[in-house]
Structures are given as C-alpha cells and as structure tokens.
Amino acid sequence: MSENVCPQCGAPINPGASECRFCGEKLVHQQVVQQMQQPVYQQPMYQQPQPIIIQQAAPQPVYTAINPAWPVKSKVAAGVLGLFLGGIGAHNFYLGKIGTGLLCLLFCWTGIPAIIGFIEGIMILCSNDENFQLKYHVRAMM
C-alpha cells in the first residue's frame, strides 16, 4: 500500500487531510491526483442470465424380443385355469410360477387365492399375445 506524502516537505500525511500538518501545504490538488490514480471499482452492470440448455438423452428403443427358449403355453388355457382353478393356483403352476402356486395352495382355505386367481384369469384372457408372452416369459401357442 503506497503511503501518502506531502509534495512540499515529503512528510507522511493522512489520506483524508486537506493540508500537511508539518508544513501547512494545501493538499487539494494532491487528493484529486491520488483519487484519480486509485483504481475505480465499478459495480458490475446487470447481466441477463443466460438460459441453461439441458440436452435430453434420446429415448432408448424398447426391444420386445421373445426368447425362443421360453416354453410354449396357451393363453386361453392359462386364463381358464385362473378362472376355475385359481383358488389352488393351477394357472400359476401351468405358467411356471411354482412359488406363487405353492402360496395359493397354502392359503386356499381362506378363499383369497380364488378371488386373485379369478381376477388374474380375466387379465390373462384380456391381454394381447405380446404382453402375455413378455409378462410370463412364455411363447404363446397360436
């Protein structure tokens, strides 16, 4: 930081002083020069915010490939089994869902698996072939 000095005697002076306290020299001119030499900090002008551009990823294609290794099952047979024998889980055993079939057998005395099996039977019969194949991992019998 540079020290303010009197031009007449070279004594250090306070930055806000109007005259030198040692020699009495008027410092008005020096203050103006010093103020001009000091860097002027301007407040930044208001800038409009730049829009943020977010690039969205292209939607990934959905591949609905039916695996030829899946077993061939009939959609109608699965639906009818669900409607009439859904209480004991026959449609689940037919579609290869052994764990769910065993749960239906275990709780068949409550009647809840019969209601669920009836609803699943209707859903199987109302679904299209592609959805049936992808949901149960089977190939539909044509």
Domain residue ranges in the chain: 1-41, 72-140
Q: For 19-31, what is each residue's pLDDT tens digit?
A: 777 777 777 654 4
Q: Is the pTM of this model over 0.85?
A: no
Q: What is the pLDDT of residue 22?
A: 73
The tokens for 124 are 């199987």
Alpha-helical segments (H) within 11-138: 28-37, 75-85, 90-95, 98-106, 112-126, 129-136
In the 8-state DSSP scheme, what is residue 68? T
Q: For 104-140, what is each residue's pLDDT tens digit?
A: 999 999 999 999 999 999 999 999 999 999 999 999 8
By CB atoms closer than 10 A (0-12, 13-18, 19+), residue 48 is exposed
